[in-house]
Amino acid sequence: MSKRDLKKYLTELSKEQLEEQLIELYEKFAPVKVYYDFVFNPKEDKLLQESKVKISHEYFPVKKPNAKWRPRAKMRRSVAQKIIKHFIMLGVDPFIIADLMFYNIEIAQTYSANNYIKQELFYKSIFNSFEQAVNFVISNGILAEFKARIDAIHQQTLQQKWKNKYDFEAILDKMDF
């Protein structure tokens, strides 16, 4: 069904029929419920904090109260990417999305500062996240607010002697940083 056909169909429905359909969609499809729950009660700060906790647990998992062992860090970039994609879909403020993007990189760097990581893919993955975050802040016109964090991330790559530190530098050179 095209958008035009949908509009035509919706104009033929009465107000009550439209309300019934929306309520049915709300009850039947979880993404619709999530969307309307967010629209009517955004609580972006709470959502941001919960998301930061989820991301930090990927690198610094919490030991369960009665467990004899501490779980290992999974370091999955996909967890953060999924949350960021969800934020974009909901229409969360770009400043909050950018904050989360850079937080993801910063927490990964905090972990790598204290732990040796031999997987080359980790460094490439964090670089991809960095490139996406920089492009996001540029496209949303909020680069000035994040310049200090971008520079701090770059400095960490130099300090930790990441193999791909020059890739990070190339991004900064393109920005005339």
What are the domain boundaries of the chain? 14-175
Question: Residue for token digits 């999924």?
Answer: 82
- Model pLDDT, residue 50: 93
pLDDT average per 10 residues of sequence, the chain (177 residues): 88 90 90 83 87 94 76 89 93 95 97 92 95 96 96 96 94 79
- Model pLDDT, residue 35: 83
- Model pLDDT, residue 177: 55
- Model pLDDT, residue 39: 80
- Model pLDDT, residue 64: 76
